Structure 1
Amino acid sequence: MLKWALIFFVISLIAGFFGFSGVSAATATIARVLFALALIIFVIFLVLAFMAGQAVL
């Protein structure tokens, strides 16, 4: 998911450079949402890993 966020971010930068502000804004929003989802999933898995580690001990 981070890979796709980075791809959309690069597309946003390129579109902004060439003056396509609508495309740039849309892809920046998509990149932001994907990054937030990846961060939330990472935190959930991190908490689950700590809980599993506590259960083993």
Structure 2
Amino acid sequence: MKEVALNWDFMPTPDGAGYFRFYNQVNCYIEILSYDKMLDDAKKRNRAFFEKLQLPML
């Protein structure tokens, strides 16, 4: 993942767990990250929503 990202001028994410790049010409944002990172971020992002609905987080 790191080799591909650096060959295509991707920048590391602030937390160092992935890479990103923005293409101005087509207004496109691309992020490269692991499935585990995506799952952890989704859980963090949705925690307040689930708490408000009084649903358990799986």
TM-score higher than 0.5:
no
Q: Which has the larger radius of gyration?
A: 1
More strand per residue: 2
More helix per residue: 1
Does 1 or 2 have the higher relative contact order (CA < 8 Å, sep 6+)?
1
